[in-house]
């Protein structure tokens, strides 16, 4: 006989103003259960979890909690302002029978001492403190709303192990697929105000969801055909039988009302990145680059070659220097030592993880059009802003909504919409998956995988990395970075473990090198190349630079709209010269790469 539920929500109804989030939602949590609560951003997942936690009272429905059952809730934006330090905040969540030393253990595992002051905490540190407070008592039920937000890979993998070892029942909201796959044993899907349950883990969610939506589509099609038959009968049936006509007319009105009331299946994001003209074959060449802040190396003697079409993921713990490395590779930040050379014809578009380029006072429409009318140019063609908004799941009514009123997920979709509207052949994405729901993540993964240009991204999402990148640059400690072919799982298979926390680096950190030694470039490697090859390698960069300038000049000349009309023969000659210069540049880049590989192998 199954154990009675510790928590039971039945027919929960709730909304805010005219927006109805929950219309008959239910949730049942038995001892030791592992539930994934899934649904689109804005579908009401957090609201349902707050009702379950007793933080808000639903407008309708019933909530039952077994007498004596303990429950802890991890909110998305915890408030620590009433406590003198983090340790006091975590210990305040303990009961009389709880182990007081567990609070210190959890904080240490999450990279904190407990002495931190709430006013000085970053968003990530605040979330870690809240996690420690929720986990410390080992409650009967843990309600966790986005527990992996602002956590780096070592913390996420530790949290997976910690939660798997608990006896507590879990209800998890997360956009981290790998996290849900490893922890969930059943799913509750919140969709259009109601809930559906599947007694299987998250790995089966997408197949199940698609089947449900297909079944609904078939039912809607049957309903539409029935309406057509009824209309046909009304127009052409026997009109003398008035009572029967009235009944059938009433039936038709009922069917139409049902169709109007039917909330259609949620839309899907339509993404397509506007692509600029192709870049050169060599996109980025980094040779022995180093960067230090104070006495600590962030990047030490790192070299890589990024070729057109590569999709590179950068992984490491918080504070390791992922964004610094990204900025060095893209020319935003100069290295202390070594050299970074960018290829020709690059059109770079970036996505900032802090969404810093968004002015909160402007409207959604103004953010997409940059304040110029009601048109957005995508792939060189104008589109009405409302139509483009719909591609990213915004409603027409949101066009005049100020950005400060958008949710985190909506702000993330807006940043993607802005980035993908600009022509590019190099996408630079710093934590692009933050706050995106599962459907939007699916489309972003497809976009990155199919993008014709080059992609460099920083992410803590293991599933996203596995689906999207061709190689991973991983932090190895002490400023060292190593590139591995394949996605995150391939990297783990090659090195034997995932990303480790920076605490491991600190434990074995050698004495810092003197500043003068750090600033000096690494000593040149011994080479065994013949004199001709050495001369060719030395002179090729100047030739590639000259070809790049020639291509830019010819590009501008050919782009002149009146050139062909004025001088058809000159236009043909310039076009041929442009093609020849582009071919010469590609050949020079290939030869330079070949010689560089020879130099590295012989060194």
46 is an annotated ligand-binding site residue? yes
Q: Is the dihedral of CA 499, 500, 501, 507 positive or negative?
A: negative
Question: Are the C-beta atoms of residues 432 and 351 closer than 8 Å to each other?
Answer: yes
Helix (H), strand (E) at residue 528: none
222 among annotated binding-site residues: no
Asked whether the CA dihedral 417, 369, 40, 407 is positive or negative, the reply is: positive
Please tell me whether 557 is known to bind a ligand: no
Alpha-helical (H) ranges within 136-272 are 153-165, 177-183, 205-236, 242-261
Per the DSSP assignment, residues forming a β-bridge with 383 are 376
Q: In this structure, are residues 416 and 271 in contact, taking their beta carbons and an 8 Å threshold?
A: yes
The residue written with tokens 């591995």 in the block is 484
The structure tokens 């001709």 sit at 532
The verdict on whether residue 338 carries a ligand-binding annotation is no
* Residue 54 labeled ligand binder: no
- Would you say 50 and 56 are in contact if contact means Cβ atoms under 8 Å apart? yes
Residue 396 gets which letter from DSSP?
G
Q: Judge whether 44 is annotated as a binding position.
A: yes
530 among annotated binding-site residues: no
On whether 486 is known to bind a ligand per the annotation, the reply is no
Distance CA 331, CA 300 (A): 17
| 43 annotated to a ligand binding site | yes
Nearest to 415 by CA among 468, 323, 352: 352
Phi, psi of 195 (to 5 degrees): -115, 145
Known binding residue 532? Answer is no
User: Annotation-wise, does 84 bind a ligand?
Assistant: no
Whether residue 509 is annotated as binding a ligand: the answer is no
| Residue 18 labelled as part of a binding site | no
117 is in an annotated binding site: no
State the Cα torsion 295-301-307-313 to the nearest 10°: -50
Alpha-carbon distance 486 to 312, whole Å?
A: 9
CA gap 572, 301 in Å, rounded: 47
Question: Annotated binding site for ATP, which residues?
Answer: 39-46, 316-323
Question: Annotated binding site, which residues?
Answer: 39-46, 316-323
């Amino acid at each position: 006989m199954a154990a009675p539920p510790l928590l039971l929500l039945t027919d929960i109804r709730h909304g805010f103003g005219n927006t109805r989030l929950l219309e008959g939602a239910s949730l049942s949590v038995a001892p030791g259960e592992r539930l994934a609560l899934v649904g689109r951003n804005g579908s009401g997942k957090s609201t349902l979890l707050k009702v379950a936690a007793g933080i808000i009272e639903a407008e309708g429905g019933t909530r039952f909690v077994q007498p004596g059952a303990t429950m802890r809730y991890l909110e998305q934006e915890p408030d620590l302002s009433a406590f003198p330090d983090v340790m006091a905040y975590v210990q305040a969540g303990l009961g009389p029978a709880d182990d007081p030393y567990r609070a210190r253990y959890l904080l240490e595992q999450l990279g904190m001492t407990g002495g931190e002051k709430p006013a000085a905490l970053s968003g990530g540190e605040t979330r870690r403190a809240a996690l420690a407070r929720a986990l410390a008592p080992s409650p009967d039920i843990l309600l966790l709303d986005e527990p992996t937000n602002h956590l780096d890979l070592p913390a996420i993998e530790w949290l997976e192990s910690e939660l798997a070892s608990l006896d507590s029942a879990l209800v998890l909201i997360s956009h981290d697929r790998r996290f849900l796959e490893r922890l969930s044993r059943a799913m509750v899907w919140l969709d259009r105000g109601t809930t559906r349950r599947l007694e299987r883990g998250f790995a089966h969610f997408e197949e199940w969801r698609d089947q449900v939506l297909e079944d609904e589509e078939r039912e809607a099609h049957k309903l539409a055909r029935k309406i057509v038959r009824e209309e046909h009968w009304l127009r052409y049936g026997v009109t003398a039988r008035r009572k029967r006509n009235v009944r059938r007319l009433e039936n038709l009105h009922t069917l139409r009302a049902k169709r109007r009331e039917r909330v259609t299946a949620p839309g899907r994001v339509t993404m397509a990145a506007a692509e600029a003209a192709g870049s050169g074959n060599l996109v980025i060449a980094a040779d022995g680059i180093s960067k230090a802040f104070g006495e600590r190396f962030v990047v030490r003697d790192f070299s890589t070659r990024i070729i057109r079409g590569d999709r590179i993921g950068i992984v490491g713990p918080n504070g390791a220097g992922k964004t610094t490395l990204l900025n060095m590779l893209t020319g935003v930040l100069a290295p202390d030592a070594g050299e970074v050379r960018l290829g020709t014809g690059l059109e770079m578009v970036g996505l900032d993880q802090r969404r810093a380029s968004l002015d909160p006072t402007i409207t959604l429409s103004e953010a997409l059009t940059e304040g110029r009318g009601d048109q957005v140019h995508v792939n060189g063609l104008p589109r009405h802003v409302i139509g483009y908004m719909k591609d990213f799941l915004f409603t027409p009514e949101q066009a005049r909504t100020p950005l400060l009123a958008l949710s985190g997920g909506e702000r993330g979709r807006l940043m993607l919409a802005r980035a993908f509207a600009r022509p590019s052949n190099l996408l630079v994405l710093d934590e692009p998956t933050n706050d995106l729901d599962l459907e939007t993540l699916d489309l972003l993964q497809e976009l990155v995988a199919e993008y014709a240009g080059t992609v460099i991204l920083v992410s803590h999402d293991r599933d996203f990395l596995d689906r999207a990148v061709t190689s991973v640059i991983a932090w190895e400690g002490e400023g060292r970075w190593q590139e591995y072919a394949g996605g995150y799982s391939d990297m783990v298979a090659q090195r034997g473990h995932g990303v480790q926390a920076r605490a491991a680096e600190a434990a074995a950190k050698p004495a810092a090198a003197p500043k003068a030694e750090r600033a000096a470039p690494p000593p040149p490697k011994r080479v065994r190349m013949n004199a001709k090859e050495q001369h060719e390698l030395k002179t090729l960069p100047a030739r590639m630079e000259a070809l790049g300038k020639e291509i830019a000049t010819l590009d501008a000349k050919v782009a002149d709209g009146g050139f062909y009309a004025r001088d058809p023969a000159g236009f043909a000659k310039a076009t041929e010269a442009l093609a020849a210069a582009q071919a010469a540049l590609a050949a020079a880049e290939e030869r330079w790469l070949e010689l560089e590989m020879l130099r590295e192998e012989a060194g």
